[in-house]
Structure 1
Amino acid sequence: MSANASSASLNVPGLAQPDPPKTVMMALDESSHSTAALQWVFDYLLRDGDKLLVVSVVDKEAEKDSAISRIKTLLRAIWESENVQVNMAARVVVGKASEQIVAQCEEVKPAFLVLSSAGKSHVEGLIVGSVSNYAISHVRCCPVIVARMTVALESQRGRLSKGSKAQRQRSKSPLWF
């Protein structure tokens, strides 16, 4: 290192460098499938320093306040049970779920969009219409992950432990709106 240099970095081939923080967007409809997918996001996608944006779509403006309250409660409960330090935000928007989720995703441009599977068969999804299918077809800014929770995944997730509450060191509040 020269006398004028203040610092140096050494890149060792084969030694992984830490990933920069990423933003993960989760479309949440408050169903049990969606809540399980949110838990999956914490278990498998989020790392310390990442940002989670939860987007929920309601039919009427009058439903927004109660939806945001329920989402904040859910996020806080999951955050308290996990051993990962992330920043979280929630947006509740009014409109058609499929269109609003795509619009929010294109605005935010997250690293990933995660949706849950409602447990419908492929045929049911095609006949009734599927938010997941719409997102897969229309989101252009990032990969779309459809987290379909199966009995095997639920069982495996139950066996995984992120550490005790005493091991966690967190900021005062993970939530920002």
Structure 2
Amino acid sequence: MPRATPDIPNASMADIAFLLLTFFLVTTTVANDKGLTLQLPPPPEALPQDLEIKIPERNLFKIQINSFDALLVEGDPYTGSMRELTDMIKMFIQNNGLDPESSESPIKAIVSFKTDRGTTHKKFVEVLDAAQRAYYEIYASNLGVTADKWRDIASDPDRRVEYNKSREGYPMNISIAEPTKVGG
């Protein structure tokens, strides 16, 4: 009589595989990518085709960066520091119509930011940080605190009233235009 070959029972293999899969799905952490927190505009097809908004030149603070990371601020070459750029933006926003060449009010003031396709990410982020820093410093001064203290207030959900009060009348109007193509 021939001898039977031993068998490995595999009826519960599917159950074991399912339990292992569930274990690894539950215990694995998924990397949470962080990036720039920007509110993107609606896609062009979502906007009315006859929409045309006229913004007076005096309400635009124009910053341009070319593909060599050289800045133009208000049409003039800029070689100053990012700190000085932040101060210029703050003066523009808080002009309140005093200087006829500058913004009429903080609500109407727009910081317009345009780059070329060859602009480095580092320079883009430096200039964007300078523009946002100007607003954060204004918000902090509205509450009579430092910018660091204001960031603590902004991140604390229990202090929403203070946060909203600091931003009152000063919307963060930063317009980031689509980059222009360089070369071919």
TM-score by length of structure 2 reads 0.28
Q: Which has the higher strand share?
A: 1
TM-score by length of structure 1 reads 0.29
- Greater RCO between the two (CA within 8 Å, min separation 6)? 1
